[in-house]
């Protein structure tokens, strides 16, 4: 009996060993199951903004973001709106989105060489990109803008940058403004016009009195080239080469922009 039990145990062990080997062989021979792609971020629908005072503030922030000269007229000195740089209400990855930003401030800024708050960063945009003045931190405009960006960021992890933050980097090149003028005529003229004045509030000016001033980030050729390559023309973003993006950025840079003196924008 003991011998029989021993033989049964040996055969059982061999069977399990064989099954394990077969499973291993099958796993190496069969193709691995396809990994589901990461879910693309979907902007929240403005229709779900809640009712009540908080929702009213969020909606005001959205209005200011999309038509800043109309809804924050006291603080704007041109016809630029936040959405002209932060595309589609700050919701486009690679289009300088606002998603997740409230959760990563305060932040050290090399340009200012100091740590700034989220509200301070918004004020800088008004002073530079919108050629205007600082918003009071406790005013309805600032509160609304912060409320709107927090609502956009409601599903993001605090302290972790949104994967589509900013603009993707491109190689550093030298732009040629003469070549850029030709690219502008071919690719940009139809929307932004021969005078660079655009069609506000829908299409921004890219130079002249209604465009950003010389203190704005977009006045830098490299920053503008990144933005153009990633997002322009909006009918076919990404279609321009790195060199074409640098060339048209150089052309726009050397067209007239309002000088910037921080003391005049407090």
187: left (phi over 0), alpha (psi -120 to 50) or beta: alpha
What are the pLDDT tens digits along the chain (266 aa)? 433 333 333 333 333 333 333 333 333 333 333 333 335 889 999 999 999 999 999 999 999 999 999 999 999 999 999 999 999 999 999 999 999 999 999 999 999 999 999 999 999 999 999 999 999 999 999 999 999 999 999 999 999 999 999 999 999 999 999 999 999 999 999 999 999 999 999 999 999 999 999 999 999 999 999 999 999 999 999 999 999 999 999 999 999 999 999 999 99
Answer for the pair 132, 213: CB distance below 8 angstroms, yes or no: no
| Three-state DSSP class for residue 100 | coil
Domain boundaries, the chain: 46-152, 177-265
Answer for the pair 232, 240: CB distance below 8 angstroms, yes or no: yes
Please tell me if the domain spanning 46-152 has the same topology as the one spanning 177-265: yes
CATH architecture of 177-265: Orthogonal Bundle (1.10)
What pLDDT was estimated at residue 39?
A: 55
**Residue 1 buriedness (CB in 10 A; 0-12 / 13-18 / 19+):** exposed
What is the distance between the alpha carbons of residues 130 and 213, in angstroms, rounded to a whole number? Answer: 8
Cis-peptide into 175, omega within 30 deg: no
Closest by CA position to 167, among listed 94, 83, 242: 94
Tokens representing 131 are 């050629």
Residues 6+ apart with CB under 8 A from 144: 57, 58, 59, 60, 61, 63, 64
Answer for the pair 189, 199: CB distance below 8 angstroms, yes or no: no
What is the distance between the alpha carbons of residues 133 and 136, in angstroms, rounded to a whole number? Answer: 10
- Helices in 97-154 by DSSP H: which ranges? 118-128, 140-152
CATH architecture of 46-152: Orthogonal Bundle (1.10)
Total number of residues shown for the chain: 266
What pLDDT was estimated at residue 32?
A: 33
């Amino acid at each position: 009996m003991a011998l029989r039990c021993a033989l049964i145990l040996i055969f059982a062990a061999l069977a399990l060993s064989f099954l394990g080997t077969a499973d291993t062989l099958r796993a190496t021979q069969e193709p691995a199951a396809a990994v589901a792609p990461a879910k693309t971020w979907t902007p929240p629908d403005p229709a779900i903004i809640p009712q009540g005072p908080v929702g009213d503030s969020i909606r005001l922030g959205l209005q200011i973001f999309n038509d800043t000269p109309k809804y924050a007229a006291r603080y704007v000195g041109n016809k630029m709106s936040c959405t002209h740089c932060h595309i589609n209400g700050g919701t486009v990855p690679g289009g300088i989105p606002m998603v997740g930003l409230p959760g990563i401030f305060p932040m050290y800024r090399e340009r200012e060489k100091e740590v700034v708050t989220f509200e301070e960063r918004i004020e800088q945009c008004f002073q530079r990109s919108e050629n205007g003045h600082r918003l009071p931190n406790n005013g309805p405009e600032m509160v609304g803008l912060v409320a709107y960006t927090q609502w956009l960021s409601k599903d993001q992890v605090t302290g972790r940058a949104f994967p589509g933050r900013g603009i993707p980097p491109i190689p550093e090149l030298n732009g040629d403004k003469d070549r850029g003028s030709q690219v502008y005529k071919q690719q940009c003229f139809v929307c932004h016009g021969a005078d660079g004045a655009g069609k506000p509030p829908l299409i921004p000016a890219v130079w002249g009195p209604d465009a950003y001033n010389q203190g704005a980030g977009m006045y830098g050729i490299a920053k503008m080239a990144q933005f153009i390559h990633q997002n322009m023309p909006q009918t076919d973003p990404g279609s321009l080469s790195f060199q074409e993006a640098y060339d048209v950025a150089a052309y726009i840079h050397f067209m007239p922009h309002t000088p910037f003196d921080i003391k005049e924008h407090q």
